[in-house]
Amino acid sequence: MSEVATHHHDDHHGAHPTGIMRWLTTTNHKDIGTLYLLFSLMMFFIGGTMAMIIRLELFQPGLQFVDPQFYNSMVTMHALIMIFGAVMPAWTGFANWMIPMMIGAPDMALPRLNNWSFWILPFAFTMLLSTLFMPGGAPAGGWTMYPPLVLQTGDAFPFLIFAVHFMGASSIAGAINVVATVFNMRAPGMTLMKLPLFVWTWIITGFLLIASIPVLAGAVTMLLTDKFFGTAFFSAAGGGDPVMFQHIFWFFGHPEVYILILPAFGIVSAIIPTFARKPLFGYSSMVYATGAIAFLSFIVWAHHMFTVGMPLAGELFFMYTTVLIAVPTGVKVFNWVATMWQSSMTFETPMLFALGFVILFTIGGFSGLMLGVTPVDFQYHDTYFVVAHFHYVLVTGAVFALMAGAYFWMPKWTGHMYDETLAKWHFWLSVISVNVLFFPQHFLGLAGMPRRIPDYAVQFADFNMVSSIGGLGYGISQILFVIIVVKCVRGGEKATDEVWEGAQGLEWTLSSPPPYHSFTEAPDPESITGGHR
Amino acid sequence: MNASQKKANSKTVRFLLLATVLMFGFGYSLVPLYDVFCEITGLNGKTGRIVSADVESKELYDDRLVEVEFVTSVSADLPWDFEPTVEKMLVRPGVETRADFIVKNNANYTLVGNAVPSVAPNAAAKFFNKTECFCFTKQSLEPDQTLTMPVLFVVDPDLPQEVKLLTLGYTFFESLDLASVD
């Protein structure tokens, strides 16, 4: 990233700190974006290593490599790290890098808060990862932290709670920053309905974060006081109720899944029109669909807990609202397909990942619909069908969109084209191995294999072995991504300002790489076309 | 960043911080809301509590009998025995009925416990009213002490016709100092 540094021409602060101090004290949105993205990549590999341990143990029936307690820790930590450490910081990283450049702003609205919201993350995850070495082991009760099981966590328990608090504070600060930036820092002429869809999806994500993360903070604080201060929110002995935790948790948890996926919709809505060389079909319907999904996400939470014992009226309500989400999501998928209809497409790596996203995310959406139907959910609940579903939406959904976005903007960030041949290898190896990894898990779930168990009955052996082989393949393929990024940062073919033939938007009017301080003067309002993506 | 943007930013931040604090409060307000919701709907098997004076005023359905069965359990960390004297009885709705439970402390030290009731099916819970119950207060047992504890209850005659069997369950927990139960 030293290339970026040499381009800065800071005229109002005098000397800049260099070396480590530059990164510790930076308030520049591009530096902070880079920090977020590198942090996220690191967490992606730590969480991925845990996934490899899980798949290794599940390669054959019986207990071979790890003891069940450690296996449960791996399942729990893998989820926490991938959700809070890999995907969420990656979206904030993209927001930091791209939103000011997309809306013609010189920087984020609150640069110092921006620095702070990144730098609490390393502390949060050091705390969380340190629990692996504590008496009683790392948290092993599942990332959903259901009491009373989670209250049996050893010394790790308060570290888990405070790590969650830190991660939450970081994402709320990031969300406030994005919303303030988009509301107040837009260049003249950049009206709301001209915003690129990535910006739109991120504002809505920001509101979801602000509305849901504090509820999680409240829920884990109740767990903390139940364990150490004698309250009885979730303890039947004191008149509380453990099921109430599930309601409060999923009131946060369902908006959370849209926090993880909405920015992906925005990125795909930027990439498909670029490589289809056509304006996005149905821009305003995309905006309204995103808003509708965000609203519905707050009234569907109990579909995660159909089997706890709800009255029929409740199960019907949550089933209908859940299935209703298919309407705005369908609007989006059809809009992407209509954008490609009769277009002149080319298939560079960002487009390949975006197409992979559209197809595979839709598979995950369909299995989600199946799970949303109450009577069917009674069979699928807590089986590998659920695991297959959320990995299709989170890996081939969110992570594929992250990869698509990284390839799409990497030439802009570094000023160099990435190695297209290696990148195509990365895509094809990923897309094949990820399906080998997760598709058989649908069958395992339908056949009744429960999730979060280190051993299984022998009839599940073949599909588990296939899945583990796919897992190893997917894990190894991601090393290619690191090689491509390093190569691209170090050098390569010089990227043009526009980078892609069909690229539209303010970020492509800047040089590649962009100057350290971009849009210190607002761009020409004539250059803001909008509506395209 | 010009002055008007700075002003707009601090206004937006104040608004969003307020929203954050309010949502944190909302998380906590879900606790009483949940209790109220369960009480109104009878979900979670939360039973009602009435005074004896209210019982007489109900109309009697002489030809109807409802079976009530009793289930007991003790949490793992409490060394007590806990059983009903009869496992099930036939009850006339609208008539106050008594059931006895026997509890014994097997430990060689005094223990305080409280019983948490629950009624199944959920839909019937709000038609099951207790006038007197050992679960209203904490129970303190000396070493090896045995205690017979009564429950006086009335099944509301408005109980839906399709409910023929009610299960009243009690779980004894070691009392928490801050426990508030009813």
In sequence order, what DSSP letters do the residues of A315-361 get, joined into one string?
HHHHHHHHHHTHHHHHHHHHHHHHHHTT------HHHHHHHHHHHHH
Q: Look at residue A2 and tell me whether its pLDDT is greater than 70.
A: no
Q: What is the DSSP letter of A179?
A: H
Asked if A531 contacts A194 with a C-beta cutoff of 8 angstroms, the reply is yes
- The answer to the question of residue B35 being in a domain is yes
Catalytic (active site) residue A107: yes
Reported in sequence order, the residue ranges of chain B that DSSP labels E, i.e. its strands, are 48-49, 66-74, 80-84, 88-91, 97-105, 111-120, 128-133, 139-141, 146-155, 165-174
Residues B15 and B61 in one domain: no
Residues B121 and B106 in one domain: yes
Tell me whether A56 touches chain B (CB under 8 Å).
no
Q: What is the residue range of B14's domain?
A: 1-41
Phi, psi of A348 (to 5 degrees): -70, 165
- Is A86 strand, coil or helix? helix
Q: Which amino acid is at B18?
A: L
With a CB cutoff of 8 Å and minimum separation 6, the contacts of A13 are none
With a CB cutoff of 8 Å and minimum separation 6, the contacts of A336 are A268, A269, A272, A281, A358
Tell me whether A453 touches chain B (CB under 8 Å).
no
Spatial CA neighbour of A509 closest among A493, A525, A488: A525
Query: Is residue B121 very low, low, confident or very high in pLDDT (cuts 50, 70, 90)?
Result: confident
Catalytic (active site) residue A303: yes
Tell me whether B116 touches chain A (CB under 8 Å).
yes
Nearest CA in chain A to B74: A237
Asked if A447 contacts A460 with a C-beta cutoff of 8 angstroms, the reply is yes
B81-98 pLDDT, tens digit each: 999 999 989 888 888 888
Residues B33 and B59 in one domain: no
Asked if A304 contacts A371 with a C-beta cutoff of 8 angstroms, the reply is no
Q: Residues A425-462, buried b or exposed e (16+ Cβ, 10 A)?
A: ebbebbbebbbbbbbbbbbbbeeebbbeebebeeebee
Q: What per-residue confidence (pLDDT) applies to B47?
A: 64
Q: Look at residue A504 and tell me whether its pLDDT is greater than 50.
A: yes
Ramachandran assignment for B42, one of left (phi > 0), alpha (psi -120 to 50 degrees), beta (any other): left
B38 interaction partners in chain A (CB closer than 8 Å) = 241
With a CB cutoff of 8 Å and minimum separation 6, the contacts of A282 are A331, A335, A338
Residues B89 and B144 in one domain: yes
Rounded to whole angstroms, the Cα distance separating A290 from A265 reads: 9
A211 interaction partners in chain B (CB closer than 8 Å) = 19, 23
Nearest Cα of chain B lies from the Cα of A220 at a distance, in angstroms, of 10
A271-289 pLDDT, tens digit each: 999 999 999 999 999 999 9
A118-127 pLDDT, tens digit each: 999 999 999 9
Q: Look at residue A9 and tell me whether its pLDDT is greater than 50.
A: no
Among residues A171, A212, A274, A509, the one annotated as catalytic is A171
A433-459 pLDDT, tens digit each: 999 999 999 999 999 999 999 999 999
Beta bridge partners of A416: A494
Phi, psi of A18 (to 5 degrees): -115, 175
CB contact under 8 A, B24 and A215: yes
Asked if B157 contacts B58 with a C-beta cutoff of 8 angstroms, the reply is yes
Token pair recorded at residue A326:
């298919």
Tell me whether B5 touches chain A (CB under 8 Å).
yes
Rounded to whole angstroms, the Cα distance separating A518 from B59 reads: 81
Greatest Cα pair distance, chain B, in angstroms, is 83
Tell me whether B3 touches chain A (CB under 8 Å).
no
A228-241 pLDDT, tens digit each: 998 889 987 777 88
Could you identify the residue written with the tokens 């409240």? A218
Spatial CA neighbour of A258 closest among A215, A295, A306: A295
Number of domains in chain B: 2
Average pLDDT score over residue span A516-523: 90
Catalytic (active site) residue A97: no
Spatial CA neighbour of A431 closest among A522, A347, A506: A347
- The answer to the question of residue B96 being in a domain is yes
Residues B69 and B129 in one domain: yes
Residues B92 and B164 in one domain: yes
Asked if B75 contacts B173 with a C-beta cutoff of 8 angstroms, the reply is yes
A237 interaction partners in chain B (CB closer than 8 Å) = 75, 114, 116, 173-176, 179
Q: What per-residue confidence (pLDDT) applies to B155?
A: 87
Q: Residues A25-35, buried b or exposed e (16+ Cβ, 10 A)?
A: ebbbbbbbbbb
Tell me whether B160 touches chain A (CB under 8 Å).
no
Q: Residues A339-376, buried b or exposed e (16+ Cβ, 10 A)?
A: bbeebeeeebbbbbbbbbbbebbbbbbebbeebbebee
Tell me whether A299 touches chain B (CB under 8 Å).
no
Residues B147 and B103 in one domain: yes
- The answer to the question of residue B121 being in a domain is yes
Query: Is residue B46 very low, low, confident or very high in pLDDT (cuts 50, 70, 90)?
Result: low
Tell me whether A66 touches chain B (CB under 8 Å).
no
Among residues A57, A226, A256, A419, the one annotated as catalytic is A256
Query: Is residue B176 very low, low, confident or very high in pLDDT (cuts 50, 70, 90)?
Result: low
Q: What per-residue confidence (pLDDT) applies to A1?
A: 40
Query: Is residue B124 very low, low, confident or very high in pLDDT (cuts 50, 70, 90)?
Result: confident
Q: What is the DSSP letter of B76?
A: T
Identify which of B1, B28, B122 has the shortest CB distance to residue A311.
Answer: B122
Q: Torsion angle, CA of B9/B13/B15/B18, rounded to 10 degrees?
A: -170
Asked if A254 contacts A297 with a C-beta cutoff of 8 angstroms, the reply is yes
Tell me whether B47 touches chain A (CB under 8 Å).
no
Catalytic (active site) residue A171: yes
Q: What per-residue confidence (pLDDT) applies to B117?
A: 85
Catalytic (active site) residue A416: no
CA distances (Å), A258 to each of A82, A178, A262, in order? 15, 17, 5
Rounded to whole angstroms, the Cα distance separating A215 from B24 reads: 5
- The answer to the question of residue B135 being in a domain is yes
Tell me whether A129 touches chain B (CB under 8 Å).
no
Question: Does the complex come out with an ipTM higher than 0.90?
Answer: no
Tell me whether B178 touches chain A (CB under 8 Å).
yes
How many percent of chain A have pLDDT more than 70?
Answer: 96
Q: What per-residue confidence (pLDDT) applies to A477?
A: 96
- The answer to the question of residue B179 being in a domain is no
A135-162 pLDDT, tens digit each: 989 999 999 999 989 999 999 999 999 9
Identify which of B8, B17, B44 has the shortest CB distance to residue A241.
Answer: B44
Nearest Cα of chain B lies from the Cα of A249 at a distance, in angstroms, of 9
A456-498 pLDDT, tens digit each: 999 999 999 999 999 999 999 999 999 999 999 998 899 999 9
CA distances (Å), A367 to each of A14, A215, A323, A387, B54, in order? 56, 28, 11, 10, 53
Nearest CA in chain A to B15: A176
Q: What per-residue confidence (pLDDT) applies to B180?
A: 42
Query: Is residue B113 very low, low, confident or very high in pLDDT (cuts 50, 70, 90)?
Result: confident
- Is A240 strand, coil or helix? coil
Identify which of B24, B41, B173 has the shortest CB distance to residue A217.
Answer: B24
Q: What is the DSSP letter of A150?
A: G
Catalytic (active site) residue A40: no
Catalytic (active site) residue A433: no
Average pLDDT score over residue span B92-116: 88
Spatial CA neighbour of A431 closest among A505, A507, A354: A354
Identify which of B122, B171, B176 has the shortest CB distance to residue A232.
Answer: B176
- The answer to the question of residue B158 being in a domain is yes
State the pairing for strand pair B88-91/B66-74: antiparallel
Residues B105 and B70 in one domain: yes
How many percent of chain A have pLDDT more than 90?
Answer: 87
Asked if A415 contacts A3 with a C-beta cutoff of 8 angstroms, the reply is yes
Token pair recorded at residue B86:
């009869």
Spatial CA neighbour of A346 closest among A278, A269, A416: A278
Check residues B181 and B136 and name the one with the higher pLDDT: B136
Nearest Cα of chain A lies from the Cα of B39 at a distance, in angstroms, of 13
Catalytic (active site) residue A212: no
Residues B73 and B133 in one domain: yes
A219 interaction partners in chain B (CB closer than 8 Å) = 27
Residues B139 and B66 in one domain: yes
Catalytic (active site) residue A143: yes
Beta bridge partners of B114: B173
Tell me whether B109 touches chain A (CB under 8 Å).
no
A195-204 pLDDT, tens digit each: 999 999 999 9
Q: What per-residue confidence (pLDDT) applies to B11?
A: 94
A309 interaction partners in chain B (CB closer than 8 Å) = 122
How many percent of chain B have pLDDT more than 70?
Answer: 84
Asked if B142 contacts B109 with a C-beta cutoff of 8 angstroms, the reply is no
Identify which of B12, B122, B182 has the shortest CB distance to residue A184.
Answer: B12
Q: Look at residue A8 and tell me whether its pLDDT is greater than 70.
A: no
Rounded to whole angstroms, the Cα distance separating A74 from A61 reads: 18
Q: What per-residue confidence (pLDDT) applies to A446?
A: 96
Among residues A73, A131, A153, A269, the one annotated as catalytic is A269
Catalytic (active site) residue A269: yes
Rounded to whole angstroms, the Cα distance separating A210 from A252 reads: 10
Tell me whether A234 touches chain B (CB under 8 Å).
no
Residues B14 and B78 in one domain: no
Catalytic (active site) residue A78: yes
* CATH code for the domain of B50: 2.60.370.10
Average pLDDT score over residue span A322-332: 96
Rounded to whole angstroms, the Cα distance separating A267 from A255 reads: 19
* B106 CB neighbour count, 10 Å cutoff: 12
Nearest CA in chain A to B41: A311
Identify which of A210, A222, A236 has the shortest CB distance to residue B173.
Answer: A236
Query: Is residue A217 very low, low, confident or very high in pLDDT (cuts 50, 70, 90)?
Result: very high
Q: What is the DSSP letter of B158?
A: T
Range 178-217 of A in CB contact (< 8 A) with B: 179-180, 183-185, 210-217
Spatial CA neighbour of A513 closest among A27, A31, A18: A31
Bond prior to A100 in cis (omega within 30° of 0): no
Identify which of A109, A213, A239 has the shortest CB distance to residue B9.
Answer: A109
Among residues A30, A78, A278, A416, the one annotated as catalytic is A78
- The answer to the question of residue B182 being in a domain is no
Question: Measured in whole angstroms, how far is the alpha carbon of residue A348 from the centre of its chain?
Answer: 23
Residues B9 and B58 in one domain: no
Catalytic (active site) residue A332: yes
Rounded to whole angstroms, the Cα distance separating A530 from A252 reads: 33
- The answer to the question of residue B128 being in a domain is yes
Rg of the Cα atoms in chain A: 23
Q: Look at residue A100 and tell me whether its pLDDT is greater than 90.
A: yes
- Mean of the per-residue pLDDT values for chain A? 93
Q: How many CB pairs under 8 A join A and B?
A: 114
Phi, psi of A423 (to 5 degrees): -65, -40
Q: What per-residue confidence (pLDDT) applies to A4?
A: 46
Among residues A153, A329, A396, A477, the one annotated as catalytic is A329
Nearest Cα of chain A lies from the Cα of B62 at a distance, in angstroms, of 30
Token pair recorded at residue A68:
């069940």
State the pairing for strand pair B128-133/B48-49: parallel
